[in-house]
């Protein structure tokens, strides 16, 4: 037997066309109904006449891999290191030598294709245009972060498995002499 809202909880529709006041009232009723229920809520639907409000919640995801459960002691230094990296990444010196490759989307940056695998690049590596520098996982999709310049990796600006924001600096590459579009020394003809 399924539980359904009592008819007395929802007032009868005043008109066939939903009015803004009707929709606001429905939203208030949905919130009130959600608060009155016990246990986790996955879906709620409130309908009055032609107006309806439906809300679906996804199953809450568990803690990210490698996260200690609440109350468990963290590894020494584990909590402070990612915070320092994140703050350093925000304060990137734009005038420093090199081109900054930025995150094209919000997600989690990974330096290697899988846990335990060699990183895509390390400081000192020479990269080509289109070469993978890392990946950003967003909504269970792995998005490659490709170099848009040829040159040497001079700085990794975020740590492995770190959350990144849109346009956050990820990697600094010092452009090499063969970079298309890079300034080349003028040769005088005399």
CATH number at residue 112: 2.40.50.100
Tens-place pLDDT, residues 32-90: 766 666 666 666 666 777 776 666 655 554 445 544 545 445 444 444 333 333 334 34
Do residues 49 and 18 make contact, with C-beta atoms less than 8 angstroms apart?
yes
User: Is position 118 within any domain?
Assistant: yes
User: Is position 83 within any domain?
Assistant: no
User: Is pLDDT of 26 > 60?
Assistant: yes
Q: From the CA atom positions of the chain, what is the Rg in Å?
A: 26
User: Is pLDDT of 178 > 90?
Assistant: no
User: Is position 92 within any domain?
Assistant: no
Do residues 142 and 124 make contact, with C-beta atoms less than 8 angstroms apart?
no
User: Is position 85 within any domain?
Assistant: no
140's torsion region: left (phi>0), alpha (psi -120 to 50) or beta?
left
User: Is position 5 within any domain?
Assistant: no
Compare 139 and 22 and report the one with higher pLDDT: 139
Q: Are residues 53 and 107 in the same domain?
A: no
User: How many separate domains does the chain show?
Assistant: 2
User: Is position 78 within any domain?
Assistant: no
Q: Are residues 36 and 103 in the same domain?
A: no
Number of residues written out for the chain: 190
**What backbone torsions phi and psi does residue 88 show, to the nearest 5 degrees?**
-65, -40
Q: Are residues 103 and 170 in the same domain?
A: yes
Query: What is the residue range of 135's domain?
Result: 99-175
User: Is pLDDT of 8 > 60?
Assistant: no
User: Is position 48 within any domain?
Assistant: yes
Cα 26 to its chain centre, rounded Å, is 32
Instruction: Single out the residue of 158, 160, 145 nearest to residue 115, CA to CA.
Output: 160
Q: Are residues 109 and 53 in the same domain?
A: no
Q: Please tell me the distance from the alpha carbon of residue 143 to that of residue 86, in angstroms, as a whole number.
A: 20
pLDDT of residue 144: 96
Q: Are residues 107 and 51 in the same domain?
A: no
pLDDT of residue 25: 73
Domain boundary among 57, 80, 108: 57
Q: Please tell me the distance from the alpha carbon of residue 41 to that of residue 73, in angstroms, as a whole number.
A: 31
User: Is position 187 within any domain?
Assistant: no
């Amino acid at each position: 037997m399924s539980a359904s809202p009592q008819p007395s909880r929802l007032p009868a529709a005043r008109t066939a066309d939903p009015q803004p006041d009707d929709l606001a009232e429905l939203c208030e009723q949905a919130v009130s109904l959600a608060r009155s229920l016990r246990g986790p809520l996955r879906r709620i639907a409130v309908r009055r006449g032609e107006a309806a409000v439906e809300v679906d919640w996804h199953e809450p995801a568990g803690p990210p891999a490698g996260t200690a459960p609440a109350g468990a002691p963290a590894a020494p230094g584990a909590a402070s290191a990612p915070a320092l990296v994140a703050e350093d990444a925000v304060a990137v010196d734009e005038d420093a030598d090199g081109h900054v490759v930025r995150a094209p989307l919000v997600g989690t940056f990974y330096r290697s294709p899988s846990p335990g695998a060699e990183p895509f690049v390390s400081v000192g590596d020479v990269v080509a245009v289109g070469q993978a520098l890392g990946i950003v996982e967003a909504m269970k999709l792995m998005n490659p972060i490709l170099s848009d310049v040829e040159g040497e990796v001079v700085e990794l600006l975020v740590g492995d498995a770190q959350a990144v924001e849109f346009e956050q600096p990820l990697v600094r590459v010092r452009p090499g002499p063969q970079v298309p579009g890079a300034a080349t020394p003028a040769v005088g003809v005399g």
